[in-house]
RNA sequence: AGGCAUGUAGCUCAGGGGGAGAGCGCUACCCUGACACGGUAGAGGUCCCGGGUUCAAAUCCCGGCGUGCCUACCA
């Protein structure tokens, strides 16, 4: 694309925009309906059209994108199906707010005009979150983008509704539902959020109709008493020898209501007498049904007391509570008030306290559907990962209650049901009937309610693929490979998709469900606008770059633990991206004229560092593959971080510098420096190329940018093959040799650091070892050690005289002497050796305790015992040597 | 009220029956020709507490304590 050199620091902004546009233009996200490659498909959890990208989206979609990019590189035919959700209540609320600013409300506009306004809003702003997903690098097949209100998806919704109704799995009836007096609609049980509330328990006297005295009932909601139609006691409660049917007078209303007996009443709670308000409490409703009680609604849909509330009519339900209490007190009927903590339901869209309310609604009979959904998971046809969520899924599915699906709002899928205005016949059909099938009347009126948004979301895995038509997309990509989502919508969405998929596709919607954690703030609190602790992903992307952000999310995505995110952490991973950038910059400087096709790697001519890095590369490739196959994103990211920074940069690049600068000869005598350089370049090219590919699913932009500059690559890295890993380049010998060399270098560096040797000063070092092989290896890699440990000279010898004026380190295979003539501080050396010996002695104490235990010697596996003995031997030898050196240093110190 | 997690270095966390790990932070020294968004070295831990199983427990089991979350119709 441009010049072949890299800038000194990685600048994400421009690079990201350029490559995203390129990928889209080249159709690299496109999924093929009729490919022979193995299919891999994911449907996106559709964000609300009104939404703006938040951390949850960023996390969720980063993980999906990693999987999709990984599978594309494996050669799979990948479909990532994108789209948005019409979010009935949320969207209606947003557009109503816009109208309010114009001084309008939806009723002034009328239903049709209002819906047109919502569409207009969606055309204008609905694409915002899609654009934000693109900033994140999401490789969705955007040409297939769907919306739950699209014609095709709407047809799927109607089809499902009609079929479920025909099968008796959808019914309409009068029940207590959750009503939001602000949104003016029914809500499903799931859409109610319960919160503990510090309220009161009010004890109210209900006088007997005949005779003296009263029954005291306890309630948290005194205002509902206006609609009481009975007082219930437990027939076993000895305190209440009241015959069933005896009456009390309902205070304030002066209405006689019966005493009833019902075992539901808990004798241990309150007074053991329960006021019954069938119209405003689900339990009271059921008790009312059992006893044939009257049902009196006293709270209207707007949350105000209605005409049945007598003199309280017109008051808001909470004002009414105060007024009722005042009135009771005046009449001497309020016995006492106790503080009481109980949970109160709130609308999940607007936080208004919901009102249990008797209302005619549509319901899905879920039990038969749930049975299939339970079986599918029991049989392993769908796996839930991590497994911990399986139990939660079962618990919920087994205690499931019917699903209220009708909503009294305008924005959504209108229920395909028509009532004959003449004979009352109810017709459910795909299209509006022309005439009543019962009486032939043409006066058919459509149901005004719309469906719960989650009803259409439940169909998402197949409705987006063209169902109810039998499309090639469905044939190829259903069931999807995995669903990636947060546990917060396990019930709302995952469970319902399972039910609908099994019912209508006769197969599970996904093979795997990967449930990821929540993103929280640095203190572990849930991010929320009201708390003001949200971190805006787009701000993060602007500040640190998409790649750093994605890598952070992946690195922290450990299964079963929430992510605590702070900008500081993202900054840390920006350093990683920059490190990769600079390692690449360095490599590319040397690879500028390298022609990968002309130089094959000849293993026999490789130096040990080359063999070592290739071995490590194979190792990390396999780790990353396994990690991604198991949804252990953090393990993949962690392995790559470790490899790039601490193996590739810290060691390999440093080791090959002299070779690249042409100052070191090759492995064999026949190799000229330039031939050796060529071979090392071949390895460097290979390592960089594969490292970029391994990293690409995590950090797509920077890897594509470097890939583009890497000689010999063609086309996008998205099309390159994911490295195989495996055993082919594993090299146990090289790893052992490098371990020895690195240990030696670290030993010398440790002395330099601890003894305050000026960094620029080259020193002499000597290693004495009794092992001839060790001496050979060290001798052979003399130059590597000299360079990395900053030595003037490096010698290897059998054990012998201890040189004077030197600092000492003992390692597993010998002793290192660093000559510090004139600069040695014997006191410092004494301290250093003493510290070292203390460490060893601590280890030895543990080991000796173990070996002194006869049970251990007889019962532990022989291998373990031998290992401990060997370790002891090594420590003992090391201690002896160190003590010898310490004694010499002490003598020298005394003499000086 | 039940259920599920979780408690490891100053912070955030990995790991998990036989030698306590990482990143960030901290300390010292270094602008060495990829990188100061860097390098080298270093300090720092009763692996929450108490029992049990085991030759061996940070790891498995039980019981506490702390924290977080989910579900629930007890007014």
The conformation of residue A535, written as its DSSP 8-state character, comes to: -
In the predicted model, what is the mean pLDDT of residues A696-718? 95
pLDDT in tens, A778-793: 999 999 999 999 999 9
Q: How far apart are CA A384 and CA A484, in angstroms?
A: 10
pLDDT in tens, A554-570: 988 877 777 787 888 89
Given this model, what pLDDT does residue A162 score?
A: 96
Protein-nucleic contacts, chain A 122-181 to strand B, CB < 7 Å: none
Nucleotide nearest to A490 (CA to C1'): B70
In the predicted model, what is the mean pLDDT of residues A337-342? 86
Q: How many CB atoms lie within 10 A of CB A649?
A: 16
CA–C1' distance A86–B69 (Å)?
29
CA–C1' distance A755–B36 (Å)?
24
* Confidence check: pLDDT of A523 > 80: no
| Coil vs helix vs strand at A700 | helix
Question: Can you tell me the ipTM of this complex?
Answer: 0.94
pLDDT in tens, A455-472: 999 999 999 999 999 999
pLDDT in tens, A61-91: 999 999 999 999 999 999 999 999 999 888 9
In the predicted model, what is the mean pLDDT of residues A470-485? 95
Is the C-beta of residue A100 closer than 7 Å to nucleic acid chain B? no
| Coil vs helix vs strand at A16 | helix
CA–C1' distance A219–B64 (Å)?
36
Nucleotide nearest to A559 (CA to C1'): B14
CA–C1' distance A603–B18 (Å)?
39
* Confidence check: pLDDT of A881 > 80: yes
Is the C-beta of residue A240 closer than 7 Å to nucleic acid chain B? no
Taking Cα atoms as reference points, which of A243, A231, A245, A215 lies closest to residue A288? Answer: A231
Confidence of residue A583 (pLDDT cuts 50, 70, 90): very high
Q: Torsions phi, psi of A470, nearest 5?
A: -90, 90
Nucleotide nearest to A586 (CA to C1'): B34
Protein-nucleic contacts, chain A 590-649 to strand B, CB < 7 Å: 634-635, 638, 642, 645-646, 649
| Cis upstream peptide for A468 (omega within 30°) | yes
Taking Cα atoms as reference points, which of A133, A70, A12 lies closest to residue A701? Answer: A12
The conformation of residue A46, written as its DSSP 8-state character, comes to: P
Is the C-beta of residue A866 closer than 7 Å to nucleic acid chain B? no
CA–C1' distance A44–B1 (Å)?
37
Q: How far apart are CA A373 and CA A393, in angstroms?
A: 10
CATH code for the structural domain at A195-346: 3.90.740.10
More confident residue, A842 or A154: A154
* Confidence check: pLDDT of A716 > 90: yes
Protein-nucleic contacts, chain A 746-805 to strand B, CB < 7 Å: 746, 749-750, 752-754, 756, 758-759
CA–C1' distance A817–B34 (Å)?
32
Protein-nucleic contacts, chain A 342-381 to strand B, CB < 7 Å: 342-343
CA–C1' distance A489–B16 (Å)?
31
CA–C1' distance A853–B53 (Å)?
18
Tell me the average pLDDT of chain A. Answer: 89
Q: How far apart are CA A753 and CA A751, in angstroms?
A: 5
Nucleotide nearest to A583 (CA to C1'): B34
Given this model, what pLDDT does residue A418 score?
A: 95
Tell me the percentage of chain A whose pLDDT exceeds 90: 54
| Coil vs helix vs strand at A182 | coil
**Could you give the angle at which helices A608-629 and A633-642 cross, rounded to 10 degrees?**
170
Q: Which fold has domain A565-730?
A: Isoleucyl-tRNA Synthetase; Domain 1 (1.10.730)
CA–C1' distance A750–B44 (Å)?
18
Q: State both tokens at A581.
A: 């950038």
| Coil vs helix vs strand at A268 | coil
* Confidence check: pLDDT of A427 > 90: yes
Cα distances (Å, whole numbers) of residue A304 to A223, A316, A318, A349, A377:
11, 4, 9, 20, 46
C1' of nucleotide B35: residue with nearest CA: A582
Given this model, what pLDDT does residue A244 score?
A: 72
Q: Torsions phi, psi of A213, nearest 5?
A: 90, -175
CA–C1' distance A345–B70 (Å)?
15
CA–C1' distance A388–B60 (Å)?
19
CA–C1' distance A568–B48 (Å)?
28
CA–C1' distance A533–B20 (Å)?
35
C1' of nucleotide B23: residue with nearest CA: A572
Look at strands A77-81 and A39-43 and give their pairing: parallel
Given this model, what pLDDT does residue A1 score?
A: 39
Q: How far apart are CA A658 and CA A670, in angstroms?
A: 18
Protein-nucleic contacts, chain A 467-496 to strand B, CB < 7 Å: 488, 491
Confidence of residue A664 (pLDDT cuts 50, 70, 90): low
Given this model, what pLDDT does residue A112 score?
A: 93
* Confidence check: pLDDT of A2 > 50: no
pLDDT in tens, A611-661: 999 999 999 999 999 999 999 999 999 999 999 999 999 999 999 998 888
Taking Cα atoms as reference points, which of A612, A851, A631 lies closest to residue A733? Answer: A612
Is the C-beta of residue A270 closer than 7 Å to nucleic acid chain B? yes
Rg of chain A on CA atoms, in Å: 37
| Coil vs helix vs strand at A767 | strand
Q: How far apart are CA A321 and CA A281, in angstroms?
A: 16
pLDDT in tens, A197-224: 888 889 999 998 887 888 899 999 999 9
A632 touches A556 (CB < 8 A): no
A511 touches A38 (CB < 8 A): no
Strand B bases, protein C-beta under 7 A: 3-6, 12-15, 18-20, 22-24, 28-30, 32-43, 54-56, 67-75
C1' of nucleotide B5: residue with nearest CA: A560
CA–C1' distance A647–B42 (Å)?
21
Cα distances (Å, whole numbers) of residue A569 to A353, A541, A572:
39, 13, 5
Protein-nucleic contacts, chain A 647-686 to strand B, CB < 7 Å: 649-650, 653-654, 657, 661
**Could you give the angle at which helices A537-544 and A567-591 cross, rounded to 10 degrees?**
40
* Confidence check: pLDDT of A3 > 60: no
Sign of CA dihedral A407, A408, A410, A415: positive
Is the C-beta of residue A1 closer than 7 Å to nucleic acid chain B? no
In the predicted model, what is the mean pLDDT of residues A535-542? 89
* Confidence check: pLDDT of A765 > 90: yes
Given this model, what pLDDT does residue A671 score?
A: 58
Is the C-beta of residue A283 closer than 7 Å to nucleic acid chain B? yes
> Residue A680, class by beta-carbon neighbours within 10 Å (0-12 exposed, 13-18 middle, 19+ buried)?
buried
Nucleotide nearest to A635 (CA to C1'): B14
What is the H or E stretch that residue A886 is in? helix A862-895
Is the C-beta of residue A223 closer than 7 Å to nucleic acid chain B? no
Residue A739: alpha-carbon gap to chain centroid: 38
Strand A480-486's sheet: what is its strand order?
Answer: A383-385, A510-516, A480-486
pLDDT in tens, A384-419: 988 888 888 988 898 888 999 999 999 999 999 999
Strand partners for A358: A176
Q: How far apart are CA A276 and CA A387, in angstroms?
A: 43
CA–C1' distance A55–B70 (Å)?
21
Nucleotide nearest to A812 (CA to C1'): B19
* Confidence check: pLDDT of A669 > 70: no
Nucleotide nearest to A388 (CA to C1'): B4
* Confidence check: pLDDT of A473 > 90: yes
Sign of CA dihedral A216, A217, A218, A224: negative
Given this model, what pLDDT does residue A596 score?
A: 81
Is the C-beta of residue A239 closer than 7 Å to nucleic acid chain B? no
Where are the alpha helices (H) located in A232-299, listed in sequence order? 282-291
CA–C1' distance A825–B23 (Å)?
35
Is the C-beta of residue A856 closer than 7 Å to nucleic acid chain B? yes
Confidence of residue A4 (pLDDT cuts 50, 70, 90): low
pLDDT in tens, A88-144: 888 998 898 899 999 888 889 899 999 999 999 999 888 899 999 999 999 999 999
Is the C-beta of residue A105 closer than 7 Å to nucleic acid chain B? no
């Amino acid at each position: 694309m441009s010049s072949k050199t890299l800038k000194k620091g990685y600048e994400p902004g421009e690079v990201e925009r350029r490559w995203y546009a390129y990928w889209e233009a080249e159709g690299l996200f496109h999924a093929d309906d009729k490919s022979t490659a193995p299919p891999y498909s994911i449907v996106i959890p559709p964000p609300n059209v009104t939404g703006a990208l938040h951390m949850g989206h960023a996390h969720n979609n980063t993980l999906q994108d990693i999987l999709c990019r990984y599978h594309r590189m494996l050669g799979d035919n990948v479909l990532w199906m994108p789209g948005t959700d019409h979010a009935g209540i949320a969207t209606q609320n947003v557009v109503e707010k816009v109208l309010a600013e114009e001084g309008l409300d939806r009723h002034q506009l009328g239903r049709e005009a209002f819906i047109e306004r919502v569409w207009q809003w969606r055309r204008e702003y609905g694409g915002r979150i899609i654009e934000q997903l693109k900033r994140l690098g999401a490789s969705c097949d955007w040409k297939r983008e769907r919306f739950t209100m699209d014609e095709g998806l709407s047809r799927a919704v109607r089809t499902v509704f009609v079929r479920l109704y025909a099968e008796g799995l959808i019914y309409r009836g009068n029940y207590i539902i959750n009503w939001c007096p602000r949104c003016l609609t029914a809500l499903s049980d799931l859409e109610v959020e319960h919160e503990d509330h510090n309220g009161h328990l009010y004890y109210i006297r209900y006088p007997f109709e005949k005779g003296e005295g009263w029954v005291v009932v306890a309630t948290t909601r005194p205002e509902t008493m206006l609609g009481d139609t009975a007082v219930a006691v437990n027939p076993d409660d000895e305190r209440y020898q009241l015959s069933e049917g005896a009456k009390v007078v309902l205070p304030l209303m002066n209405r006689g209501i019966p005493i009833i007996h019902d075992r539901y009443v808990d004798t241990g709670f309150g007074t053991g007498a329960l006021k019954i308000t069938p119209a405003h409490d689900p339990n009271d409703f059921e008790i009312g049904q059992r006893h044939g009680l009257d049902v009196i609604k006293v709270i209207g849909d707007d949350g105000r007391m209605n005409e049945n509330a007598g003199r309280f009519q017109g008051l808001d339900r909470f004002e009414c509570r105060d007024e009722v209490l005042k009135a009771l007190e005046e009449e001497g009927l309020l016995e006492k008030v106790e503080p009481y903590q109980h949970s109160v339901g709130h609308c999940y869209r607007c936080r208004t306290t919901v009102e249990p309310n008797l209302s005619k609604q549509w319901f899905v009979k879920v039990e038969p559907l749930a049975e299939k959904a339970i079986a599918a998971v029991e049989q392993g046809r769908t796996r839930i990962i991590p497994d911990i969520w399986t139990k939660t899924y079962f618990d919920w599915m087994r205690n499931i209650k019917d699903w209220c699906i009708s909503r009294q709002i305008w924005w959504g899928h209108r229920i395909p049901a028509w009532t004959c205005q003449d004979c009352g016949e109810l017709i459910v059909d795909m299209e509006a009937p022309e005439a009543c099938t019962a009486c032939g009347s043409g006066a058919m009126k459509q149901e005004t309610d719309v469906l719960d948004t989650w009803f259409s979301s439940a169909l998402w895995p197949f409705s987006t693929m063209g169902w109810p038509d039998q499309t090639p997309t469905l044939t190829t990509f259903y069931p999807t490979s995995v669903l990636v989502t947060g546990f917060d919508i396990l019930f709302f969405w995952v469970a319902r998709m399972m039910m609908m998929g099994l019912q209508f596709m006769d197969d599970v919607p996904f093979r795997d469900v990967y449930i990821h954690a929540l993103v929280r703030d640095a203190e572990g609190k849930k991010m929320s606008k009201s708390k003001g602790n949200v971190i805006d992903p787009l701000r993060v992307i602007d500040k640190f770059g998409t790649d750093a952000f994605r890598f952070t999310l992946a690195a922290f995505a450990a299964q079963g633990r929430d992510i605590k995110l702070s900008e500081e952490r993202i900054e840390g991973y920006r350093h990683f991206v920059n490190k990769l950038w600079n390692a690449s910059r360095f490599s590319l400087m040397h690879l500028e004229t390298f022609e990968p096709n002309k130089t094959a790697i000849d293993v026999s001519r490789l130096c040990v560092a080359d063999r070592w890095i290739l071995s490590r590369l194979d190792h990390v490739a396999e780790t990353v593959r396994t990690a991604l196959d198991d949804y252990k994103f953090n393990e993949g990211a962690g392995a790559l971080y470790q490899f790039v920074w601490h193996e590739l940069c810290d060691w390999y690049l440093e080791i090959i510098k002299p070779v690249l600068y042409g100052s070191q000869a090759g492995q064999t005598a026949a190799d000229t420096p330039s031939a050796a350089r060529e071979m090392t370049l071949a390895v460097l090219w290979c390592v960089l190329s594969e490292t970029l590919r391994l990293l690409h699913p995590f950090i797509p932009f920077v890897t594509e940018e470097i890939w583009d500059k890497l000689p010999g690559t063609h086309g996008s890295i998205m099309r390159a093959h994911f490295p195989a890993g495996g055993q082919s380049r594993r090299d146990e010998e090289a790893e052992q040799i490098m371990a020895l060399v690195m240990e030696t270098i670290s030993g010398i560096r440790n002395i330099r650091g601890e003894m305050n040797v000026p960094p620029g000063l080259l020193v002499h070092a000597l290693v004495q070892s009794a092992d001839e092989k060790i001496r050979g290896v060290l001798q052979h890699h003399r130059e590597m050690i000299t360079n990395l440990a900053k030595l003037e000279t490096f010698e290897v010898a059998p054990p012998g005289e201890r040189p004077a004026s030197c600092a000492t380190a003992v390692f597993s295979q010998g002793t290192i002497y660093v000559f510090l003539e004139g600069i040695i501080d014997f006191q410092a050396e004494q301290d250093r050796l003493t510290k070292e010996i203390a460490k060893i002695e601590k280890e030895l104490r543990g080991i000796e305790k173990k070996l002194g235990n006869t049970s251990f010697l007889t019962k532990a596996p022989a291998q373990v015992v031998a290992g401990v003995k060997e370790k002891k031997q090594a420590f003992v030898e090391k201690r002896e040597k160190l003590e010898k050196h310490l004694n010499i240093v002490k003598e020298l110190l005394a003499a000086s």
